[in-house]
Structure 1
Amino acid sequence: MCGICGQLAYASSPPVARDVVAAMCAALHHRGPDDVGIHVDGRVGLGATRLAIIDVAGGHQPLSNEDGTVWAVQNGEIYNYRALRDDLVARGHRFATDSDTEVIVHLYEAYGDAFVERLRGMFAVAVWDARADRLVLARDRLGIKPLFYAEHGGALWFASEIKALLAAGLPRRLDPVALHDYLTFDFVPGPNTMFDGISRLQPGHRLVWDGMLKVERYWDLPPQAAAAPVTDDVDALSAQLRTRLEDAVAAHMVSDVPVGAFLSGGLDSSVVVALMARLSPRPIHTFAVGFQERSYNELPWARKVARHCGTVHHEEVISPRVEDIVHGLVTAFDEPFGDSSAVAAWVVAQSAAGSTKVVLSGDGGDEVFGGYVIYQADCLADLYRRLPAVLAERAIPRLVARLPASDAKMSWDLRLRRFVEHARRDPLGAHVSWRVIFGSESKARLYARDFGAARHDSLDLPRAHFDAHPGADLLNRFMVVDTKISLVDDMLTKVDRTSMAHSLEVRVPLLDHHLVTWMSGIPSRYKVHGRRLTLKYLLKRAAAPWLPRDVVHRPKAGFHVPVPAWLKHELRPLVDQQLGRAAVARQGVFDPDAVAALLAEHQSGRANHSRNIWGLLMFSLWYDGQRIAHG
């Protein structure tokens, strides 16, 4: 794992200054504290900070071919690099190291831009071809590793994190389109960022500069019919899935240092740990986090799986000041990030980093195997739409409105309110709206009168992904939408930033692209199954031989944190400081009266606005910390 960065000066611009690339590398030190490397040659500069995991002694970056005409830097891991290396050696290529990054150099020589299509792994890559005067940037298929870029001051800039671009002097201007989407989703979906002029390279895309800049897709989820399995026999499918899971986990355990695992006690991480225990010659280390609040504590389940698999288990109960973690998150993410489960991710990464450099996690399982409760809601909404209007539009909403607000993790009152509010919309509109933080009307009231707010429909992006897969069944199309948006820019962003802030590499075997491709062809009836709408049905069938029955079949819990209580107690002074009338008016983005009304309703207990307030708090802290300009 590394942090990468660079600059390509256009023809009319001054040559690259080494100290600028060095400043960018310094901003990425946390991503690679073991080594730093810089290559500057006239109009191009490449930088890398390295967390040494593969070829610990010889993997210094940037790396070049024999005559120094092709250079590469890479963030991530290439799990099939040894097979690729053997093929390249047979073709006459000579290697100076056992590094997966050097494989990329020679793979580019052999296959040109198509080199990226042969990689199995998580990666963000930059290749400079001095002979052809061209730069190639590429990001892995599922967006596990980040890559940002911008054109500014007569140059093309890129980096693993935005903070490295800011260290090079790029402007800090607020993008109102990104803000509008952030208020909708709690995160900023790509390709935009909260900084006007800075973009994300999207998953499965490469950027090529050869005198002109072009961005092109090299991979996408295949149509369901094209990826369909050859049998509908559920026992045969379960056996095939077991084989594919074993292959994915084995590939992700390739390392020259010990590999541990995050263990929540949920099905996804438990499957990963069970397979690691079967594949490893020695006990693996597992890491779990819990909370003092009883309804938010999943440690007993993690403990049970650890005992079953014979791991060396580490637990931590969140007891430090939450405010310290919040400030750490603001620094780590570079953009406002409203998913409060980042607090738990931060603590478990901090705990694991004290014992290992690499862990595997179960992230991606909900999108790949059909694990979100919202998929059950999608099915129930079809029935709800058939109810008489007098029930669906009047009687049931009135009953639900009388439910008292709850601070518990499984807040069924909030779920029911959201369900009846949106269930009668079109299927995609309902699916997306159940997760929306601020709807269109709420956003219109929230903005300050003089702020130049964007007014686009944030549902346009999910609809584009939905429409791009017309041959899939309805639930599978929803899973495509979630894979393309919330998985990438919420879940995987959370994992990357919280782990890299502690110099920890997290690998996600359930997002191995071979496994994801195969699962995309499985009809959704094998993911959300039967009259009981059993989630992850096929995964549960596959996991049955590996785990205790109650672990396999326990209800989904999720990775939640006690935000409502924090906002009323530990974080109340910070909320008052950042979201008080004076602070809101000073920033000039939101209307002080609208924010005050939201806070008053939450603090009185009349409603649970914890997600909204958390998102506004993270934005306010980011805005002040970055000294943002707008207008």
Structure 2
Amino acid sequence: LAMRRLSIIDIAHGKQPIHNHDKSKWIVFNGEIYNFQELKKDLEKQGDKFYTNSDTEVILHLYEKHGADCVQYLRGMFAFAIWDERDQSLFIARDRIGKKPLLYSHQPNGDLIFGSEFRALLQHPAVSREVDYEAIHHYLTFICVPAPLTGFKQIRKLEPAHWLRWKNGKIETKKYWTLDYSKKIKISEEDAIEETTRILREATKLRLISEVPLGAFLSGGVDSSIVVALMAQESEKAVKTFSIGFEEQDFSELKYAKRVAEHVGAEYNEFIVKPHALEILPALVEHYGEPYADPSALATYYVSRETRQFVTVALNGDGGDESFAGYDRHFAMQISEKYHRIPRFVRKNLIESIALQIPAPTDFRNKMARAKRFLEAASLPREERYTRWMTNFDLQSKERLYTQDFYNQVAGYDSVKFIAKYINRNSGYSILDATLLTDIKTYLPNDLLVKVDIASMAVSLEARSPFLDHKLMEFAATLPDSIKVKGRETKYLLKKVASRLVPREVIYRQKMGFAVPINHWFRGEMSKFVEENLLSEKAVSRDLFRADYVRNLITEHKADKQDNAWKLWNLLMLELWFQRFID
């Protein structure tokens, strides 16, 4: 067992691996257990003795008492491994939501090689770099590789809320937790606001435990604003907040971030960066270790790098949208269920024929582009509808992109399967609940949490997310749909919570998200770089993609005929990964 530690709790004595009383069990652990002090007190009452003040040792004692069920007691983010010398077995586990990564390779001879990063596993001579082309096919759909797959055939992700036990060369895995949306409670709006605030306050307070400087990312959106407001109420000193903007952004939320900081008495730190994407990309490709193409990873990396100059821990607002229904698709999925009640011939011959006449967008964020996107998918079955709205390259695009050989190689693989098993739950879930569950099982761990954990840990900054507290998420799952989406208002309840903490103008406005200006870059400073990499002799010789289609994507985008920025970024990050890890 080996560990490279970012010291946050018990800096002096928490050096890993940590052992039990007779050194028959050893643990390495990445993450934070926020209720460890409470757990430790209970264990000490039962006679347990500790030689450190770390949360790591508490996990080991729980494992001795409860075995695999130790994970049920943990409130936090974690990936850990416990070696049992007597039993000659290894137990590894990952947190409920998937905040902390855990990769493994089960070898043909029975050996298990595991770690937090691809670079660690690839150091082992037995781990092959053979490409998993099914994973590449799904990556082009989702801009990330869905778990348990990775870009490498021999490496797999341990899925969130799972543990794995290795003994005598054999492995057993088990899921230990999931959200249950079937047990709805009757609750007034006022009580829902108060209870959500109470649990969120508790989750925030728990995440303020640290022996090192601590602050928060503040985007100016609802979720991070709530977190900063609660931090300000629970902290004796002014909270340090960190906000980032790009010089070329079409829009910015910085004025809202500043307004929130002023309102709650926080220390506001703003960074406007002129990104040097060409300098940063090699580092990102290196750290992510497999194809990963969410452009906002750039923004996360920059804000993490700047923040790390001041603090070692930063709280954020991740997870609010997935539990409290904050995305347009949450409303769109509800509307499209009603849309299905319109007679098919009216939908097909009138409404959808009009949608086909809407020209291809030059900016995918404008209203016309969103209307076109909605109507093109609204008639599809719900799993295909959700996938289409989350897709970068859909099936039609892939048919034009793939060479015949690559198309034949992946023809049997359908990306929809990752969505269908959650969104088609037959347990009486509403369409909204099914969509939220799908987000939490796919988009959140495969894209968002990967982005933040890797970008922040790359600069030795720990990111903590109160909205991902499992007790808050379990409570949110019991709430009725009508309090999450009211009319066209998404995230209705959370906005009500926010309205008691921060100024109204911060809350009731159009959701912006953080748009990295890749569409500008691909028409300007990165134009040549994209062409040289995607149309190089080496790239074409991989025989995955048709060079004429790729060239057309570049030409259309440069001429401002169509916004192909996300598709080009998808292909570029894949090519750079091939160059770094495969060639």
Q: Flag structure 2 segments of 5+ consecutive residues without an equivalent.
A: none
1:216 pairs, out of 159, 174, 196, with 174
Aligned mates of 2:360, 2:216 — CA distance in 1: 36
The equivalent position to 1:392 in structure 2, one of 347, 358, 361, is 347
Query: In the alignment, does 2:455 pair up with 1:498?
Result: yes
- The answer to whether the aligner puts 1:514 opposite 2:466 as a matched pair is no
- Matches of 1:426 and 1:268 in 2, distance apart? 31
Taking structure 2 as the reference length, the TM-score comes to 0.96
Cα shift readout 1:303-336 (whole Å, capped 9, x = no counterpart): 1111111111111112031222222211111011
1:159 alignment partner AA: G
Deviation at 1:397, TM superposition (A): 4.5
| 8 Å CA contact retained: 1:405, 1:413 | no
- Which one-letter code corresponds to 1:350 in the other structure? R
For residues 15-67 of structure 1, what are the alpha-carbon distances to aligned partners after superposition, in whole Å with 9 as ceiling and x for unaligned? xxxxxxxxxxxxxxxxxxxxxxxxxxxxxxx0101111000111100000121
Contact 1:447–1:453 (CA under 8 A) maintained in structure 2: no
Seen in structure 2, the aligned counterparts of structure 1 residues 473 and 528 have a Cα distance that, compared at 3 Å, is: same
Q: Give the secondary-structure state (helix, strand or coil) at the position aligned to 2:314.
A: strand
- Identity level (%): 39
Q: How does 1:441-590 map to 2 (within 5 A)?
A: 441-451=396-406, 453-455=409-411, 456-468=413-425, 470-530=427-487, 533-580=488-535, 582-590=537-545
Letter in 2 for 1:216: K
SS at match of 2:244: strand
Seen in structure 2, the aligned counterparts of structure 1 residues 327 and 396 have a Cα distance that, compared at 3 Å, is: farther
2:571 paired with 1:616: yes
Change (3 A) 1:388 1:581: farther
The TM-score with structure 1 as length reference comes to 0.89
Give the residue type in structure 1 aligned to 2:387.
V
Q: 1:407 and 1:52, CA in 2 relative to 1: closer, same or farther beyond 3 A?
A: farther
CA distance in 2, matches of 1:472, 1:521: 11
Alignment of 1:15-26 (within 5 A): none
Matched positions, count? 578
Q: How many angstroms apart in 2 are the aligned matches of 1:609 and 1:394?
A: 29
Closer, same or farther: CA 111–442 of 1 in aligned 2, 3 Å: same
Structure 1 residues 469 and 244: alpha-carbon distance in aligned structure 2, compared to 1, 3 A threshold: farther
Indicate yes or no: 2:528 matched with 1:596.
no
Partner of 2:123 in structure 1? 167
Residue identity opposite 2:16 in structure 1? Q
Residue 359 in structure 1 maps to residue 319 in structure 2: no
Partner SS state of residue 177, structure 1: helix
1:608 to 1:554, Cα distance in 2 relative to 1, 3 A: same
Q: Which position in structure 2 is the counterpart of 1:20?
A: none
Per-residue Cα deviation, 1:269-289 (whole angstroms, up to 9, x for no partner) = 000000000000001111111
Once residues 469 and 48 of structure 1 are traced to their aligned partners in structure 2, the CA distance between those partners, rounded to angstroms, is 43
Match runs of 1:378-457 below 5 Å: 378-387=333-342, 392-397=347-352, 399-401=354-356, 403=358, 408=363, 410-451=365-406, 453-455=409-411, 456-457=413-414
What whole-Å deviation, never above 9, does each CA across 1:193-215 have from its counterpart, x for those lacking one? 01001000001000011222111
Q: 1:118 to 1:49 in 2, by over 3 A?
A: same
Shift in CA distance, 279/77, structure 1 to aligned 2, threshold 3 Å? same
CA contact (8 A) 2:296 2:514 kept: yes
CA deviations over 1:504-531 (Å, ceiling 9, x no partner): 000111010000011011122211112x
Deviations 1:522-573 (A, max 9, x none): 122211112xx21111111222211111112222111211111111112111
Tell me the secondary structure at the aligned position of residue 216 of structure 2. Answer: strand
Q: Do 2:18 and 2:57's aligned partners in 1 also have CA atoms closer than 8 Å?
A: yes
- Counterparts of 1:219-368 in structure 2 under 5 Å? 219-222=177-180, 224-226=181-183, 228-229=184-185, 231-368=186-323
Task: Kindly indicate whether the alpha-carbon contact (under 8 Å) linking 1:577 and 1:583 is maintained by their aligned counterparts in 2.
Answer: no
Gaps of 5+ in 1: 1-45
Which among 331, 342, 345 is matched to residue 376 of structure 1?
A: 331
For 1:591 and 1:406, the matched residues in 2 are separated by 23
Q: Which amino acid aligns with 2:240?
A: H
1: CA distance between counterparts of 2:388 and 2:363?
22
d(CA) in 2 for partners of 1:74 and 1:359?
20
Q: The residue matched to 1:206 in structure 2 has which SS? A: strand
Aligned-pair distance for 1:384? 3.4
1:16 — aligned with what? none
Two-structure CA RMSD over aligned residues (Å) = 1.7
Aligned partner of residue 197 in structure 2, secondary structure:
helix
Q: Matches of 2:574 and 2:82 in 1, distance apart?
A: 35
